[in-house]
Amino acid sequence: MADTALSSGHLPGALLLGIEGAGLAAVLLAMVAARAVWVVVGVGTVAAAEGTVLALGGPAVLAPILGMLLLAGAELALWSVERARPAQESAAVAGFRAVRLLALALVGGGVGVLVLAVADLPVTGGFDLTALGVLATIAILATLLWLGRDALGASLRRHAS
């Protein structure tokens, strides 16, 4: 997607690709160093760069797919950080987590497609749409906090000890 913004000429391509590369490097470093907070920072960096691309007129149709990939990547990276610590995890627990991740990604993608469909409706703005937008923003923030609770809580506990 960064390539689309590059061709639009709004931002230098090397800058966006560098930001995305830094985010991916942070995720990889987090997985090697087993630092959950770095996963959050890395995924947030990639998401910010991709959000910039979308804001500059990138292909909005790909946004739900990008969201699913970012969510799945973040969850898998956090899972790898958790598994870096010695622990016994049964195959049933691993299977449950995999199914939960798949369901979460599919629901997130479905909501993204729904948002795109609603955005294409020829409806004029008003208080109702503004209130709906505020509620959607609150729901997104609540979801991000819920997803990051384990990573941030583990980091705070580690620093407290």
Interatomic CA distance for residues 46 and 149, integer angstroms: 20
- The band of 154, judged by pLDDT with boundaries at 50, 70 and 90, is low
Helix (DSSP H) and strand (DSSP E) numbers for the chain? 6, 0
In the predicted structure, residue 10 carries a pLDDT above the cut 60: no
Residue 46 to residues 9, 17, 91, 119, 132, Cα–Cα distance (Å) = 20, 9, 31, 24, 27
In the predicted structure, residue 151 carries a pLDDT above the cut 50: yes
**pLDDT for position 159:** 61
What value does the mean pLDDT of the chain take?
75
**Spans of all domains in the chain:** 2-160
**pLDDT for position 1:** 47
Residue pair 63/54 in contact (Cβ under 8 Å)? The answer is yes
**pLDDT for position 31:** 81
Flag whether the pTM goes above 0.75.
no
